[in-house]
A and B are shown apart, each in its own frame.
Chain A
Amino acid sequence: MMRTHWAVIGVFALVACQPADVDVDDDVGEEEVTDLRRPFPSPSEDAITWETPEWTIPAQSERQMCVAHTYGGEAVGIRAQRNYQSPMGHHVTLFGTTVSDREMPDGEQWDCTSLEALSMTDLEPIMIGGSIVEDEDGSLNEFILPDGMGAVLKAGQRIVIQSHYLNTTQSDILVGDAVHLDVIPEAEVEIWAAPLVNTVTDLHIPANTDGYNVTFDCEFEDPYTVLYIGGHLHEWGDSFQTRYTPNGGTEEVIYDIPVWDPVLRDAPQYTDYLDGDFTVDTGDVFTTSCTWNNDEDHELEFPEEMCVTFGMIYPSKVPVICAPDE
């Protein structure tokens, strides 16, 4: 049985996990810990909430911490997601994972700063997007679906909460994050929204090569309305573009990152269409174009590098995945 088709099965992975190294002076702030834990607002009555453990982020360092859970309730529709983070937070993201509880028991927490510590192929976004705003206690990443809409959270769904911190101070900091999901029963969801993933996994980016490009098309088999789109590369990315061609129409650029910044791997830039004015019809095409500069002495393959247009669309209860190299 070939291995490649399994790659795309795990490919919902969209946000990478390997920040740039930051030198840590172990002598700095050894005795001093600044408590930056924040209060979390009361969730709505039916909300699902997860709080991370309290983590100590060393002075002048960058860390990603992860913790695993399992959603133990009935299947529901997620209406809104609110991620609360302490000051110095870069992002906190809720992922689904296909990793079994044998490999990653509930409550297990670990430093997932390195790519090896948390294979991206084990992750799939449940609902991402929205904007990050600073509040008086830290930051809030809020994404609210339009009225009547929900994204499914299935019974038994395994969860990973990933918290990324950049501690630029001279002292260690004590932090903690929370994820609040506003949910409604499945039966009350009028329109289902789901992730959109356009990707290729058969990547072979030659060693020591600049400007290597992969471009691929994905044709829609059904009509949808797009809520937002984004692009995903890893640290060897040079540029990213998504183009849209209506069936029989003219191609236009709808998402363009002419100079890729590795920080976008963890904190993607979205183009929102929350007012419902971007619809695609059967036969319309998204073209994804990824360019890399590989300064390594080895060929880069998936999942070391990726090339993904992602987003959310409706109506669909299941992810809409296109992987033309499968």
Chain B
Amino acid sequence: MSWRARRALVLLTLALGATAAGWVRGEVYQEPDAFVAEIFGTKPAPKVLWLTKDIQAQAAAILGHPPVQLRQRYWSDAHKSVWILEEIGKEELITAGFVAADGRIDHVRVLVYRESRGGEVRYPTFLKQFKNSTLAHNNTLDRDIDGIAGATLSVGAMERMARLALFFDRMSRQ
């Protein structure tokens, strides 16, 4: 086999490997660590919110299913808190970072998207709808979030995570 053919074969193998790895891990737009570091300048030590029975019940009402773990890691300073949350869109988990400041959503970013369709939820035009949203009655958002055709379930997952981030932020400051 000539060196050109060998090189092509190696490149093809690497490309296939990278594609397969991406498919398994999903589309990583930003590592959660990098997101936290970007918000605070450096990555501060994590804190944890223990989900008591009452918090679990309210989180379950927001998510539509019980939370999967008993403690939630977060990062905070005097003004803002950062929550890295995961929720299933249709079949796969969406990982998103939420920054809550003074009881409002300050910033949202989709960090890892694993679904095959509906990735439009990562676009700023969609995410900016969450800016300054707060929790209203019954832990719902104080506004309606416009959907995206073909991404209804991912939009729903993002909205549930935004509500949960605000709820957790409130609980962490009590």
Real binding pair: no
